[in-house]
Amino acid sequence: MEVQTFPNEIVFFDLETTVPNKAGQHFHILEFGAIIVCPRKLEELESFTTLIQPKDLSVVSIRSSRSDGITRAKVTNAPSFEDVAEKIYGLLNGRIWAGHNIRRFDCVRIKEAFAEIGKAAPEPSGIIDSLGLLSDKFGKRAGNMKMASLAAYFGLGVQKHRSLDDVRMNLEVLKHCATVLFLESTLPNQLEGKWQSSSKIMTRSRSNYQIAQRAMPYSKGSLGKMTQNVKNLLGKAQSNQTLQNLINHSHSLLR
């Protein structure tokens, strides 16, 4: 039977796992979440999420430090990974994989999980790791490259550390970053000259119309290097259709 693939569709996915605290312990998948996205319009076409019960429930904390975190009680009656492996395989195999830090974490955990049940792991047609893609471009202004920091920078809310919520946040962060890159590439000389003139900008309060100062998230003089990095990224984007689609989509939002 031929396996159907969708090489031009993007699947953003995220895993929530246990965190090993002793030598020799392994990561155990507790939740899988994914959205399939149209690369032309960046619209969500399909979504799936499920809690996953590990073989050994004792590895899951009884309580969670997060208000909506995953506890032992929540996964007690959840399906095992083997129960949902076919569904996960169908979502991932042959599509472009996207996520934050997926190369070093999520991709590895998926392969481990399929190997543990003795089944072939899904294979991507390509990988978009937003951590690697944006590290040199947004690290300084966002503070660090954590998804929570990037989301806070753009005012997208608080990261919930639940799989489906996080992948949707990941997509929105990429849309916002692509829009910023587009704006900076459109008038680099004008924006560079204006932004370098002061490390602070003046904003008018909506409540009392008083002028207030707000510190810029990067230091004076840093924008020249950042703009050159943007130019380099956009040059590479000519051969990266997926990133080009993101920038084109951002352009359409500004019309």
Please give the positions annotated as active site. 161
Q: What DSSP line would sit under 127-180, residue for residue?
A: EEEHHHHHHHHHHHHHSSS-HHHHHHHTT-------HHHHHHHHHHHHHHHHHH
C-alpha to C-alpha distance for 105 and 15, rounded to whole angstroms: 9
C-alpha to C-alpha distance for 15 and 18, rounded to whole angstroms:
10
Structure tokens at 61: 């904390």
CB 78 within 8 A of CB 53: yes
Side chain identity, residue 234: L
Do 24 and 39 touch, CB atoms closer than 8 A? Answer: no
Query: In the Cβ-directed half-sphere of 110, how many Cα atoms lie within 13 Å?
Result: 27
